[in-house]
Structure 1
Amino acid sequence: MIIEVMKSKIHRVRVTQAELNYVGSITIDEDLMEAANIMANEKVQIVNNNNGARLETYVIPGERGTGTICLNGAAARLVQVGDVIIIISYAWLTTEEARNHKPALVFPDDNNKLIR
């Protein structure tokens, strides 16, 4: 059997930009992407803690070290700058793989920077 499990999570980052007139996606600081083991173009779920909105989109890398979290395209209508969101990626694993899987969990500071 194959099941879908959480692969990684960037917990409680603040939206720094929302760009409606863009093709679509979420731009994430490369430091956060790397820490969460999220790849460019990977599908992610976005959960908005401020309004309850949930959406799926794909990731594009943002400038490393900037703390950028930018919702692009139609997704920009579901957030406002300053909203707190959770970014979750998933993976399909066998039940045996899932038993031993440890997701990457990232808890940035209030400026979307890694806590070292």
Structure 2
Amino acid sequence: MLVHLLKSKIHRAQVTGGSLDYEGSLTIAEDLMEAAGLHPYEKILCSNMANGARFETYVIKGPRGSGQIVLNGAAAHCGKAGDRLTIMSFTEVDAAQAADWHPTVIVLGENNRIVARK
């Protein structure tokens, strides 16, 4: 049996911009993607701490070190610059592995810099 578990999470990511004209996705700075174990085009679930919106989209790579978190396409309607997001990805693991599973979690602070890893 497979169990659907949290694979990775970026907590308190601050939205830096939005682009309605883009076809969809969430831009995340490449270094933050790597720290969280996210892959380009990976499906993610986002929750906006400011307005309660929850939405699914996929990740695209932003410039390394830029701190970019950009809502693109329809997702741009789910928040605005300054809002804080929780960005989550999930995986399926064998039930035997689930007991010892630990997701990769990073917490962001000012300018979307990593302040904690869990």
Which residue in the other structure is 1:100 paired with?
Answer: 100
Q: TM-score, normalised by structure 1?
A: 0.96
Q: Does 1:17 align with 2:22?
A: no
Which residue in the other structure is 1:79 paired with?
Answer: 79
SS at match of 1:32: helix
The 1-side partners of 2:27 and 2:97 are apart by 30
Which residue in the other structure is 1:64 paired with?
Answer: 64
Residue identity over aligned pairs, in percent, reads 46
Q: TM-score, normalised by structure 2?
A: 0.94
CA positional deviation for 1:115: 3.2
Segments ≥4 residues shifted beyond 4 Å: none
Q: Does 1:39 align with 2:20?
A: no
Gaps of 5+ in 2: none
CA positional deviation for 1:100: 1.7
Gaps of 5+ in 1: none
SS at match of 2:60: strand
Contact 1:13 1:110 in 2 (8 A): no
The 1-side partners of 2:46 and 2:110 are apart by 18
CA positional deviation for 1:94: 1.3
